[in-house]
Amino acid sequence: MGDLNQKNIGNLDSPKLPYDYLTREYGTVPLDKNRPPFQWVSEVAYKNIHRIVARGYDTTELVEEGYGLVDLLFVDFQARIPTEEEEQMLNYIMILSLEDGLSLPAVLARTVAKSKTHLTQACGASILAFGHAYGGYAAFGNRMAQYLERAKAEHKPLSGAAEELVRAHHRDEALGVSDLMLKDPAAKRMIARAEKLGVAGENVAFMKEVVEAAKRLSTSEVDLDMLGATASVMMDLGFTPEAMWTIIAITRSFGAGAHFIEEVEREGFTRLGETLTPPEDYDGPADRSVPPIEERDKHAQPAQAKSLEEWKENFEKRKKLPASGFAIVEEIEDPRNPKKAH
């Protein structure tokens, strides 16, 4: 329609471009006949018109035979039927993961509820609370596995590996040892239950060494916490760090669902524009007049730096403005390398 190869559109005919943009083709890419068409590739499950099959087991046959959710978690994540003791242990862990009072997942679910949404949106939001501080299961698990593997390869005693781990990661929220459970016996009871059921293995043994090392190295009282207990036992049950991260987050989401319901029942909804923020909570720039737009150049400060020194100076200055983002440094890896070994 019209001249699709017209010239003079912005900079698109600039000789600085490494290609001739304006003569590029329109139209979609034809189907690729040289490769098999896209299909849902899965090692986890399939279904047809009459059956749903997970890791080779028909799921209706599983539940008819008396297997339940907890067994199915082993089937989906580990492709195996758990022993009765393993099933009991995971049940135990999931009960303790179900509810945590008005902590982050419940707060998120209740906040979403106030906007008058579906319950499922609130449950989903609660899962997002499981970051590396509140639910650092993946970080914890991968670190434990790394130190354990190294200890084995180097024939080091567990106590030595535990001390190295604590020295290197004592400030990490996901150490598994903290001052959070000094008066609550639940974490230690969980380890004792795992031992009683005969499902505690090298991860629980290593966790105990980590606790001892942290106690020796810390200047204040610390002990095993819920993350350390849950994650070490789940790893001894054979779950990968990623699997346990998601299992615990989802389990808490049931509790978050109850918080959603209670919020709607007891507190009601919030309208757009209803919530006020009092000025006494504000500590940004003082109120100031908006400059006339004609005087923009007089007031506007360009952001560009021309030298490293100027860049650094700008950077440090910007760090002082809360919420500008300059005070945070994160490492977000590019995980595009395919089919990583695990």
Task: Provide, rounded to whole angstroms, the least separation between the CB of residue 215 and other proteins.
Answer: 10
Site string for other proteins, 127-166 (x = CB under 8 A): xxxxx---x--x----------------------------
> What values do phi and psi take at 55, rounded to 5?
50, 35
The tokens describing 244, both together, are 């346990």
DSSP letters of 157-182? -HHHHHHHHHHHHTT-TTSSEESTTS
Tell me, residue by residue from 205 to 224, as one string, x for binding to other proteins by CB under 8 A and - for no binding: ---------x-xxxxx-x--
Binding mask 298-317 vs other proteins (x if CB under 8 A, - otherwise)?
--------------------
**Backbone phi and psi for residue 223, each to the nearest 5 degrees, phi listed first:** -160, 175
Identified binder of other proteins from the candidate list 17, 63, 305, 327, rule CB under 8 A? 63
Tell me how far apart the alpha carbons of residues 283 and 167 are, in angstroms, rounded to a whole number. 38
Instruction: State the DSSP string of 205-224.
Output: HHHHHHHHHHHHH-SS--EE
Interacting span for other proteins (CB under 8 A) from 50-58, 151-159, 278-286, 314-322: 50-58
Q: In the block, which residue shows the tokens 């610390």?
A: 222
Residue pair 172/209 in contact (Cβ under 8 Å)? The answer is no
Pairing mode, strands 177-178 and 45-47: unpaired
The reply to whether 201 sits near other proteins by the rule CB under 8 A is no
Decide: is 240 part of the binding site for other proteins (CB under 8 A).
yes
Which range binds other proteins by CB under 8 A, 106-114, 148-156, 292-300, 307-315?
A: 106-114
Rounded Cα–Cα distance for residues 218 and 178 (Å): 10
Radius of gyration of the chain (CA): 28
- Does 319 engage in binding with other proteins (CB under 8 A)? no
Query: Smallest gap, in angstroms, from Cβ of residue 338 to other proteins?
Result: 5
> Is 233:201 a contact under the CB 8 Å cutoff?
no
Q: Which backbone phi and psi does 240 adopt, to 5 degrees?
A: -75, 160
Q: Which is nearer to other proteins, 103 or 314 (by Cβ)?
A: 103
Would you count residue 7 as binding other proteins (CB under 8 A)? Answer: no
Supply the minimum distance, in Å, between the C-beta of residue 186 and other proteins.
Answer: 4
Q: Which of 14, 28, 289, 301 binds other proteins (CB under 8 A)?
A: 28
Residue 174 interacts with other proteins (CB under 8 A)?
A: no
Tell me which of 53, 81, 145, 205 binds other proteins, using CB under 8 A: 53
Copy the structure tokens of residue 334: 């590019």
Which CB atom, from 35 or from 155, has the smaller least distance to other proteins? 35
